[in-house]
C-alpha cells in the first residue's frame, strides 16, 4: 500500500472547518503552502482536543520563550478553501516544537482499516506534517473552538428527535 507523506514547511494557512448542516457536519483540517492544498477529515472531538492541546502548548511556549511582539492573524484567513477533496481520515494527531526555528509542527496520521488478507506490518499510514508559527496556531485553536461550539445547542441530541412524556 503506498505511503502518503507530505511536509508543508511552513504552511501559508491552516484551519479547521465544517461542511454540512448542524448535526451532520463533517469536520476538516486543512492546510496549504503555495499551490499545494491538503484537506483531511477529523472528528468533532479531535477538533476540540486539538484546540485545547494547541492552547496549552502555546501558553507554555509563551512563558518559556516569550516573543517580543506576538503576531495576530485576522479571522478571514480561517475559511476552508476549494477544492475540498479529503486526502484521508485522521486517526491521531501530535504536536511538536522546533526551538531553533520557533515553529510548531502538527502531525496528522491517517486512519487505516486493515483488511484481514493484508499483513498489518506492510500497511503504513499516511502522514502530513504542517509547520506553523505560534500566531497561526493561536488562530487555529481559537477558530477550532468556535467551530465546534457553533454546532447544535445540545450535542446530546446528536441530530435525533427526543420525545418527552408528560
Model confidence, pTM: 0.85
Query: Which pLDDT value is given to residue 69?
Result: 75
Label each residue of 20-89 as H, E or C. CCCCCCEEEEEEEECCEEEEEEECHHHHHHHHHHHHHHHHHHHHHCCCCCCCCCCHHHHCCCCCCCEEEE
Least confident of 15-19, 21-25, 97-101: 21-25
Question: Model confidence over 56-79: pLDDT tens digits?
Answer: 999 999 999 988 776 766 666 789
Is the pLDDT assigned to residue 166 strictly greater than 80?
no
Query: Which pLDDT value is given to residue 1?
Result: 46
Question: Contact at 8 Å (CB) between 140 and 15?
Answer: yes
Residue positions counted in the chain: 166
Is the pLDDT assigned to residue 8 strictly greater than 50?
yes
Question: Contact at 8 Å (CB) between 48 and 144?
Answer: yes
Query: Which pLDDT value is given to residue 38?
Result: 97
Compute the CA torsion angle 53, 125, 105, 99 (nearest 10 deg).
Answer: 110
Is the pLDDT assigned to residue 25 strictly greater than 80?
yes
Nearest Cα to Cα of residue 50 among 14, 4, 85:
14
What is the distance in angstroms between the CA of the first residue and the CA of the last residue of the chain? 57
Tell me the C-alpha distance between 94 and 46, whole Å.
11
Amino acid at each position: 500500500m503506498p505511503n502518503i507523506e507530505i511536509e508543508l514547511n511552513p504552511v501559508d494557512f491552516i484551519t479547521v472547518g465544517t461542511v454540512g448542516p448542524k448535526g451532520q457536519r463533517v469536520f476538516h483540517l486543512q492546510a496549504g503552502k503555495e499551490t499545494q492544498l491538503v484537506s483531511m477529515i477529523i472528528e468533532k472531538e479531535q477538533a476540540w482536543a486539538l484546540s485545547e492541546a494547541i492552547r496549552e502548548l502555546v501558553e507554555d511556549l509563551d512563558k518559556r520563550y516569550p516573543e517580543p511582539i506576538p503576531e495576530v492573524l485576522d479571522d478571514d484567513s480561517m475559511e476552508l478553501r476549494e477544492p475540498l477533496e479529503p486526502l484521508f481520515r485522521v486517526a491521531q494527531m501530535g504536536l511538536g516544537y522546533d526551538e531553533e526555528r520557533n515553529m510548531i509542527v502538527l502531525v496528522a496520521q491517517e486512519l487505516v482499516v486493515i483488511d484481514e488478507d493484508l499483513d498489518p506490518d506492510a500497511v503504513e499510514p499516511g502522514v502530513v506534517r504542517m509547520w506553523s508559527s505560534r500566531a497561526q496556531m493561536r488562530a487555529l485553536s481559537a477558530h477550532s473552538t468556535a467551530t465546534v461550539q457553533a454546532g447544535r445547542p445540545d450535542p446530546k441530541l446528536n441530530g435525533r428527535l427526543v420525545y418527552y412524556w408528560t
